[in-house]
Amino acid sequence: MSDMETRGLASRDTIPLSYDGLSRPYMLQAPAAPDSVHLPLLLELHGRGIDAERFDRITGLGSLAEEAGFALALPSALGEIWNDGRDAAPEGRRPNDVGYLRAVIDDATSRLRLDPQRIYVVGMSNGAAMAGRLACQLADRIAGIAQVAGTAGVGIVAGCRPARPVPILSIHGTADNIAPYGGGVRRSLLGHIMIRHAAGPSVGVDDWARFWVAVNGAAEDPVVTALPPDTLIRTWRGPTPSSDTAFYRVEGAGHTWPRSRFALPAVLFGRTSDTFDATRAIWEFLAAHRR
């Protein structure tokens, strides 16, 4: 009998959590597993302006978690906007989402038999930038991250001193008008610069790749794999599995999740590639790594 069952939780339940004096519940899902099994945990970070459950329907990670046998935590950002480090407001006036997500990991660990060496983070858009921030500031707890349509804020990267190498997988469309492939400021759905809730610039995808290749001690020359008709995968490896750095460049794709179960409207978000299953590619990459 699993810890979820012994504690009376459903396969996915809303878990109460207080942090910094605020109520910040999250959802937690785990498959039934023998007592001897210590489950991996994946934190799924939604994008800006979409709640955790609707985002999970786009990714299909909840379904894969049941199939593959890992625990899934779905935290929620205040106002559906993660403090990914790009906001111009002073840090003290913004929520401490790094601390909150650490608290989610701690709380989930108290409820389930988890493998502390196999805690992962995945996010898209604002959630991807938040995952990038965690790779910089929470490397002592996570075994790897995956990002779709996002990198990290320039300011976060400038101060990034991770405690250890962090395996990273990135998927980004070259025609992303919301999180431009070359970096810079966030755009609106129609491609115009966003004025409301202005954020600082993000680092470009290629610069982000170079940063992690150096941090992870990987070889400078990647193995390049083509997935016709639109995807190029660059994979850098090094002396240990923690060096693994993989970047998917999806030509002509927009601010989208490849082969999503519920594709976003192309008129607003751009083309969704059907060349590969991003959900399975992400889990296969993360599951191969331990902290």
pLDDT at 264: 86
Backbone angles phi, psi at 248, to 5 degrees: -100, 120
Q: With a cut of 70, say whether residue 160 has pLDDT above it.
A: yes
Question: What's the average model confidence in pLDDT over 104-118?
Answer: 97
- 188 pLDDT band, cuts 50/70/90, is low
How many structural domains compose the chain? 1
At 47-104, the pLDDT tens digits run 999 999 999 999 999 999 999 999 999 999 999 999 999 976 666 778 999 999 999 9
DSSP output for 115-141: EEEEEEEEEETHHHHHHHHHHHH-TTT
Q: Is the peptide bond before 239 cis (omega within 30 degrees of 0)?
A: no
> Which pLDDT belongs to residue 88?
67
Counts of helices then strands in the chain (DSSP H, E): 9, 12
CB 14 within 8 A of CB 27: yes
Question: Which residues are 29's β-sheet partners?
Answer: 12, 72
Domain that holds residue 201: 3-287
CATH (domain of 251): 3.40.50.1820
Residue type, 157: V
Q: Is the pTM of this model over 0.95?
A: no
Q: Would you say 250 and 258 are in contact if contact means Cβ atoms under 8 Å apart?
A: yes
Question: Which tokens go with 53?
Answer: 């459950």
pLDDT band at 10 (very low <50, low <70, confident <90, very high): very low
For 190-222, the pLDDT digits (tens) are 555 444 444 679 999 999 999 999 999 999 999
pLDDT at 185: 83
Please name the residue that has the structure tokens 């593959």.
68
pLDDT at 33: 80
**What tens digit of pLDDT does each residue of 217-268 get?**
999 999 999 999 999 999 999 999 999 999 999 999 999 999 998 888 999 9
Average pLDDT value over all residues in the chain: 91
Distance between CA atoms of 68 and 72, rounded to whole angstroms? 11
What is the enclosing helix (H) or strand (E) of 170? strand 168-173
**Lowest model confidence (mean pLDDT) among 41-45, 89-93, 108-112:** 89-93
Cβ contact 91:207 at 8 Å: no
